[in-house]
Chain A
Amino acid sequence: MKHFASKLAVATLTATLGTAAMAEVTVKVAYDADPVSLDPHEQLSGGTLQLSHMVFDPLVRWTKDLQFAPRLAESWEQIDETTMRFKLRDGVTFHSGNALTSADVDWTFDRLKESPDFKGIFAAFTDVEVVDELTFDLKTSEPYPLVLHTATYIFPMDSQFYTGTTEDGKDKAELVKHGDSFASRNLSGTGPFTVTEREQGVKVVFDRFDGYWDTASEGNVDKIILTPIKEDPTRVAALLAGDVDFIAPVPPTDLKRVEENDGTNLITEPGTRIITFQLNQNRVDAFKDARVRQAIDYAVNNAGIVDRIMRGFGTVGAQASPAGYLGYDESLTARFDVEKAKALMAEAGYADGFSVTMMAPNNRYVNDDKIAQAVASMLAKINIKVDLQTMPKAQYWPAFDERAADMMMIGWHADTEDSANFHQFLTHCPDEATGNGQYNSGNYCNPEADALMAEANAETDTAKRGELLSKLEGILYEDAAFIPLHWQNLAWGARDGVHAEKIVNALNFPYFGDLKVD
């Protein structure tokens, strides 16, 4: 007990309650943001998924080593090319007391298809067909390899609870993107916790759900109080001072401090968000030449950036897919050789270099502006003069959409946890009709690569698909389609006795239901 106030409070409590019933295990958590809404379908973001794993439960979920683990779906089997049959766990109840049935999954699926944020992920899926109370078929229009990947996004909602109208006559099921709705304030899921109190931007209180189905879980937390603390130093101080038990993220500058401090532990994992630069071929003729792009890749010292700017807190990358993803090719390593870079520039006829503009956000990715500065100075060594502009993300994204600079920074995490997703958004030939290449500010376009992606996305044989995707990564690497830098690592801080290392994962949604606290 560190604070006067808490000391006093404890003293009073002990005096009045004496030897009360067994103490409740409360964990105070500080994140840099809180979920925007209690509606799991309103926004596809880390905050929403973190919330979903606490109060809802997915059909299947990722394990630490990126494998699938059954949750509400007990088992599944492919019954034909386009149908996956799922069997629901028996005896699962929602917070409202209603039993979970296939109808709830069907209802949830229909709602997902309506959600502007989620419908993209579910584009390949046509329908959920209810077979019986606990069995349903998830159907796709074509053979689709990412059925289970997508099933991790199906968090069944309590269809009875969300059906009907509110007192003021609004549909309870209504999905409102930027306004007030029943679902954004009330929830009933099957998850380990229920939300009992919420003041947006200030705190969310979660209480253990008595009827949670997963009694085998060793989780013993009765109450979680989540406080969003945006400021890095304050969040770290709150942990060090013992005001909170668990924080995320730990900023790179404080990793050592949290690790070396008595009573707190640092937990890190390689993340899956790749940070890259794109080279706009429409704006700069030189970028059309693969040798120039390679020269830039050779000139940029990825390892140096991870070491010096990220303080070791990143994983050097040479491709989009992180290790563990299907398609990850470990033979692709980061290129760094300034002499080689100069030679390539000379070969392409740009020995004297040229000038380019560069833009990067300054509050979106970890140390984004510093990374951009470093890259700019590295390019100076091969006579590419960079005019760098950094700006807050709110202004950066509109600039990115306009393709406002010759080189632009973008970080990407694949919503599907799949290699093809990187290509679809970042390096696919831009195509407004399909939305492919939506974030391809480099205008890189290689039909061969696109054909490989299309083939991979129709291939349900995992081994074959892996080969196709690796080949795709290889082509992009040879072409230097973009300049990969690193995957951002993830870091959590926890006080002694909070066994957080077991519940965190590369996707950054800790499974608090399984958290054990001494």
Chain B
Amino acid sequence: MLAYLVKRVFQAIAVMFAISVIGFAIQDNLGDPLRELVGQSVSEEVRQQLRDELGLNDSFLTQYVRFLGNALQGDLGTSYFFKEPALDVILKKLPATLELVAGATLIIVGFSVPLGVYTAIKPNSILSRLIMGLSIVGISIPVFLTAILMIFVFSVEFGWFPSYGRGDVVHVFGYWDTNFATVDGWSHILLPSIALASIMLPLFVRLIRAEMMEVLQSEYVKYARAKGIHPFRIYFVHALKNTLLPVITVGGVQIGTMVAYTILTETVFQWPGMGFMFLEAVNRVDTPLIVAYLIVVGFIFVVTNTIVDLIYGLVNPTVNLARMGA
């Protein structure tokens, strides 16, 4: 276990290094940050001078080495737009994104398990067919379209939910403000959570269904049935437990993907999280912030994947982690 962990940490560092190089390499192709910082009639001379001050005229290597040196001391640069350390900006936006992901995860877990199990047990019922049909639709519609549709239906037409923003948030600690403490907060987070869940939920329903159906065919389930154990116990205790193993693996990877999808959801709902911030940063060519975002998100990916592997080991102790890491 320990050897495995150490190995994973080294892998993580290598991955982070690669991300920083790539992130840094693409920033030159994003455009000229100066244009977002100055007015239209500022002379080329003044712009050159500002570029010098920002160190943008240095060679790639000089810039990268400077960045790496600072990064190792926890300084990922200063955002041009926010005029604050990029890491601080991201950490301030992180809670909003994590709450959104948490909201979507709740929806996914809450619905995918019962729906997946039901469609596996009764594959031919009308309801199952309907669920499977809808899941195809859900997977095929892009997140931003779902989001815009939901705003127009539930905010504009019915007026049930607010169309943008986080609403009343309650301060928890540090940078953390929560949506889950007020009715207004809940009403604001619901639509974006559903939109974010809209791609993953159908995926998980289908995954759980497929796994469940396979398990239901297995010998031990047949044996349990023969012994006369109550079907509910068979489905939800014996079968589901084995079904969930692959689901957890996929799920872990998908949490990372979901963080990526927040870019679209947050943009449409004007959710003040880091996905929205990232897209804005790209538009503004706020390069320090872009690189810092890539590093933070890369970090989240690496950490979740590692944790998932560990949980996997806990759920199924027969998995040999040390060998997996090799």
Q: A233-241, A280-288, A301-309: which lies at the B interface?
A: A233-241
A398 touches B50 (CB 8 A): no
Which residue of A177, A180, A392, A412 is within 8 Å of B37 (Cβ)? A177
CB-defined contacts of A222 to chain B, threshold 8 Å: none
B272 touches A6 (CB 8 A): no
B282-322: contact bitstring with A at CB < 8 Å (1 yes, 0 no)?
11110000000000000000000000000000000000000
Q: 20 more A-B contacts (CB under 8 A) besides A237-B163, A394-B282?
A: A5-B182, A5-B183, A5-B184, A8-B184, A116-B49, A201-B272, A201-B277, A201-B280, A227-B270, A230-B270, A230-B280, A231-B268, A237-B148, A237-B155, A240-B156, A241-B159, A394-B32, A398-B31, A412-B40, A415-B39
- A331 on interface, CB distance cutoff 8 Å: no
A224-259: contact bitstring with B at CB < 8 Å (1 yes, 0 no)?
000101110110011011110000000000000000
- B162 on interface, CB distance cutoff 8 Å: yes
A5 touches B187 (CB 8 A): yes
Complex Cα spacing A120 to B268, Å: 38
Total interface residues on A, CB under 8 Å, equals 56
Q: B8-16, B76-84, B228-236: which lies at the A interface?
A: B76-84
CB-defined contacts of A179 to chain B, threshold 8 Å: 78, 83
- A45 on interface, CB distance cutoff 8 Å: yes
Which residue of B50, B84, B182 is within 8 Å of A177 (Cβ)? B50
Complex Cα spacing A117 to B49, Å: 13
- A332 on interface, CB distance cutoff 8 Å: no
A116 touches B42 (CB 8 A): yes
A416 to B: closest C-beta gap in Å: 9
Complex Cα spacing A409 to B152, Å: 34
B207 to A: closest C-beta gap in Å: 32
Sample (14) of A-B pairs whose CB atoms are under 8 Å apart: A117-B38, A177-B37, A177-B53, A201-B277, A227-B164, A229-B164, A237-B152, A238-B155, A243-B164, A394-B30, A394-B283, A397-B32, A398-B31, A439-B40
B37 touches A395 (CB 8 A): no
Complex Cα spacing A230 to B18, Å: 32
CB-defined contacts of B39 to chain A, threshold 8 Å: 43-45, 117, 415
A450 to B: closest C-beta gap in Å: 17
CB-defined contacts of A395 to chain B, threshold 8 Å: 29-31
B44 touches A435 (CB 8 A): yes
CB-defined contacts of A200 to chain B, threshold 8 Å: 81-82
- A141 on interface, CB distance cutoff 8 Å: no
CB-defined contacts of A230 to chain B, threshold 8 Å: 267, 270, 280
Closest to B46 in A: A116
A1-17: contact bitstring with B at CB < 8 Å (1 yes, 0 no)?
01111101100000000
CB-defined contacts of B44 to chain A, threshold 8 Å: 401, 432, 435, 438
Given A392-B31, A394-B30, answer yes or no on A238-B267 (Cβ-Cβ < 8 Å): no
CB-defined contacts of B81 to chain A, threshold 8 Å: 36, 200-201
Which residue of B29, B41, B162 is within 8 Å of A44 (Cβ)? B41
Which residue of A199, A202, A234, A242 is within 8 Å of B151 (Cβ)? A234
- A196 on interface, CB distance cutoff 8 Å: no
**Most B C-beta atoms less than 10 A away, residue of A3, A43, A45, A435:** A3
Complex Cα spacing A184 to B266, Å: 27
Which residue of B31, B40, B272 is within 8 Å of A394 (Cβ)? B31
B288 to A: closest C-beta gap in Å: 10
Given A5-B183, A5-B187, answer yes or no on A43-B163 (Cβ-Cβ < 8 Å): no
A263 to B: closest C-beta gap in Å: 11
- A393 on interface, CB distance cutoff 8 Å: yes
CB-defined contacts of B82 to chain A, threshold 8 Å: 200-201
B163 touches A241 (CB 8 A): yes
- A163 on interface, CB distance cutoff 8 Å: no
Given A178-B37, A179-B78, A242-B159, answer yes or no on A184-B267 (Cβ-Cβ < 8 Å): no
B269 touches A234 (CB 8 A): yes
- A363 on interface, CB distance cutoff 8 Å: yes
- B43 on interface, CB distance cutoff 8 Å: yes
Complex Cα spacing A439 to B44, Å: 10
Complex Cα spacing A229 to B167, Å: 14
Closest 4 CB pairs of A and B: A394-B31, A44-B39, A2-B159, A5-B184
A238 touches B41 (CB 8 A): no
- A365 on interface, CB distance cutoff 8 Å: no
Which residue of B35, B152, B183 is within 8 Å of A8 (Cβ)? B183
Complex Cα spacing A229 to B165, Å: 9
- B54 on interface, CB distance cutoff 8 Å: yes
- B58 on interface, CB distance cutoff 8 Å: no
**How many residue pairs bridge A and B at CB < 8 Å?**
162
B161 to A: closest C-beta gap in Å: 7
**Most B C-beta atoms less than 10 A away, residue of A184, A227, A394, A397:** A394
B155 touches A241 (CB 8 A): yes
Complex Cα spacing A393 to B34, Å: 12
Complex Cα spacing A261 to B31, Å: 40
Closest to B159 in A: A2
A115-144: contact bitstring with B at CB < 8 Å (1 yes, 0 no)?
011001100000000000000000000000
- A425 on interface, CB distance cutoff 8 Å: yes
Complex Cα spacing A4 to B162, Å: 9
Which residue of B37, B42, B152, B159 is within 8 Å of A3 (Cβ)? B159
B160 touches A178 (CB 8 A): no
A234 touches B164 (CB 8 A): yes
A244 to B: closest C-beta gap in Å: 8
Which residue of A394, A412, A415 is within 8 Å of B35 (Cβ)? A394
A485 to B: closest C-beta gap in Å: 18
- B36 on interface, CB distance cutoff 8 Å: yes
CB-defined contacts of B40 to chain A, threshold 8 Å: 44, 412-413, 415, 425, 439
B167 to A: closest C-beta gap in Å: 7
A278 to B: closest C-beta gap in Å: 15
B148 touches A233 (CB 8 A): yes
Complex Cα spacing A240 to B156, Å: 6
Given A177-B38, A394-B36, answer yes or no on A363-B159 (Cβ-Cβ < 8 Å): no
**Most B C-beta atoms less than 10 A away, residue of A2, A199, A237, A401:** A237
CB-defined contacts of B151 to chain A, threshold 8 Å: 233-234, 237, 241
8 Å CB contacts to B: which residues of A380-419?
392-398, 401, 412-413, 415
8 Å CB contacts to A: which residues of B180-223?
182-184, 186-188
B268 touches A6 (CB 8 A): no
Closest to B82 in A: A200
A444 to B: closest C-beta gap in Å: 18
B134-159: contact bitstring with A at CB < 8 Å (1 yes, 0 no)?
00000000000000100110011001
Complex Cα spacing A44 to B151, Å: 35
Complex Cα spacing A435 to B41, Å: 9
CB-defined contacts of B35 to chain A, threshold 8 Å: 393-394, 397-398
CB-defined contacts of A396 to chain B, threshold 8 Å: 31
B38 touches A392 (CB 8 A): no
Complex Cα spacing A432 to B81, Å: 29
CB-defined contacts of B267 to chain A, threshold 8 Å: 230-231
CB-defined contacts of B148 to chain A, threshold 8 Å: 233-234, 237
